[in-house]
Chains A and B, each alone.
Chain A
Amino acid sequence: MRSTADPEVNPMLEGKTVILRALEPADLERVHTWMNDPEVRRYIAMRYPMARVDEQAWLKDRPQNSFAEGVRLAIDTKEGLHIGNLDLRELRPEDRSASLGIVIGEKEYWSNGHGTDALTTLLRFAFYEMNLHRVSLHTFEFNERGQACYRKCGFKEEGRLREHYYAEGRYWDSLVMAVLREEFDALHGLAAEVVGSSA
């Protein structure tokens, strides 16, 4: 399952344990498998089974990554294994804000820091290359693994939307979480980097 990413063609965002790169048609099979895995789908509000052809259309019609159209990237381990995807959407230039989504489809990579590294890498890009001010997300109340990861990346809980989501026979609350650039700076930013390297 080596990815087809070509560093000569595609610039990549480099983290500590992962690389973020553009999605390619060859990613279809993996994404299709993930999107039909009940354990994965449970956390990403994918209610209806998705056909391979739907997935193909999604990959093909995907606009080029940009501020206006948003950013969708594949998460590869440094060994070149494609383990998930993440994206920035609903980018608003005046407010300099975006919302974020992530899926780690390869379940052996859950809870071992790859998600945190991928998010931190994307946030670094969002704040220091795209000049965003705020990145937010919604997460289901039962996604505690996700919430722990978001907190590590600097996200703070801003509130709880009551009964915002229905699944598995009942309503669930959604948590609103967000990180501001100044908070990310303090935690992971250029300043923190300098402090870290001198330690």
Chain B
Amino acid sequence: MLEGQLVRLRAIEPGDLEREYVWINDLEVTRYLTARYPMSRADEERWIQSASPNSFAQGVRLAIETKEGEHIGNIDLHRMHSEDRKAGLGVMIGNKEYWGNGYGTDAITTLLRFAFYEQNLNRVWLTVFDDNDRAMACYRKCGFVEEARQRQDVYMEGRYRDVLFMGVLRRDFDALHGGPGGEPDA
């Protein structure tokens, strides 16, 4: 497992199905993802069963657990690129009681530490809706900076919305978090 300050990241297990099914059908959660269509329990089960083992080539999908062992969300690295040494990051805190409490920031920082210091990546990027202030504040704290604004890129709730592209480079992360030998932030 990957240990953070508040959370640990572990592999996703079949027993996580029920929670994920609830989260992925919660409009307050999915309005920040691009999950438009309702998902059945069977869809969710297929998704969990089809997951390949975590690896560079297939990407990394992990469950976020509090130190007390409560599963509160998932996080992943996708579109891994060997030559460019980059990957895309996605995160979902499905348990809304844990929103705005630093759990997302800790989970992302923990995964970035793994991405840069174990997987030897140079860059991690993500996309976020321009009205998702809570998420953007969290991403900035982790070292991400806004790099591009894709105008009217996604249609949702009756209108086109801008999507921001954010990225963090290993050297930004080093400077922010003290490098590979640095102490995790308090």
Contact = CB atoms under 8 A, between A and B. Distances in A.
A176 to B, nearest CB: 4
Interface in A139-173: 156, 158-166, 171
Given A94-B36, A95-B153, A95-B155, A161 B83 contact: no
Contact of B83 (A47, A94, A134, A158): A47
A163 B85 CA distance: 10
B40 interface: no
B83 A164 contact: no
A3 interface: no
Interface residues of B, number: 22
Interface string B119-153: 00011010000000000000000000011111111
A180 B147 contact: no
Contact of A163 (B122, B154, B160): B122
B169 interface: yes
Contacts of A56: none
A163 B122 CA distance: 8
Interface of B: 36, 83-86, 122-123, 125, 146-155, 160, 165, 167, 169
Interface of A: 47, 94-97, 133-134, 136, 156, 158-166, 171, 176, 178, 180
Given A164-B167, A176-B150, 15 more contacts: A47-B83, A94-B36, A94-B155, A95-B153, A95-B155, A133-B155, A159-B150, A159-B165, A160-B147, A161-B165, A162-B167, A163-B122, A163-B123, A178-B150, A178-B153
